[in-house]
Amino acid sequence: MDELVGRALELVEEQFVTASGPGGQNVNKVASAVQLRVDIFRLGLTPAQFHRLKALAGKRVNAKGELVIDARRHRTQEANRADARERLTAMLEEAQVEPRKRAKTRVNRVGKEQRIRSKKARGTVKANRGRVDW
C-alpha cells in the first residue's frame, strides 16, 4: 500500500492558483490554493483497484485520466499542499481495500410459513374491501 502511495506522490504535478474565501486582500495577491494532478493510468493499479478509484474520485477524474484534487481550505500553500497529499493518500488507500462479499441469507421453514401466513391475511383484508351488501 505504501509503495503505491509513494509512486503516486512521485507522479504528482502541483500547481498553485489563487483561492477564494478568507484571507482579505492577501487572497488576491498570493496563489495559496493547490491543484494536484496524478495520471491514474501510470499508477499501475489492478483493474479492480482502478475502477474503485474512479468510482471514489467521481468528477475529479478528467477526460485525460488525471485525478485532480483542489485544496483551498487553508491560508498557506504548505498547509494546502499537505491537505491535498493527505486526501490523495486517503483516496488511494481506500481504493486498495476490497469490499467484503455479501453473504447470502436463507429463510428457514418457520420464516417462510410466517411470511405466507401474513400474505394470506393481507390478501383477506384486501378481498373484504369494497361495497357492503346489507
Q: Confirm whether 121 is domain-assigned.
A: no
Is this structure's pTM higher than 0.85? no
**Which has the closest alpha carbon to 71: 60, 63, 82?**
82
In the predicted model, is pLDDT for residue 24 greater than 90? no
| Helix-strand-coil split of the chain, %, nearest 5 | 55, 15, 35
Q: Confirm whether 75 is domain-assigned.
A: yes
Q: Confirm whether 133 is domain-assigned.
A: no
Per-residue exposure over 43-79, b if at least 16 CB sit within 10 Å of its own CB, e if not: bebeeebbebbbeebeeebeeeebbbbebbebbebee
Whether 31 contacts 54, CB under 8 Å: no
What is the number of domains present in the chain? 1
Q: Confirm whether 106 is domain-assigned.
A: no
Note down the domain range covering 50: 2-96
Look-up of cell digits 504535478:
13
Confidence of residue 117 (pLDDT cuts 50, 70, 90): very high
Confidence of residue 21 (pLDDT cuts 50, 70, 90): low
CATH number for the domain including 73?
Answer: 3.30.160.20
In the predicted model, is pLDDT for residue 1 greater than 70? no
Q: Confirm whether 126 is domain-assigned.
A: no
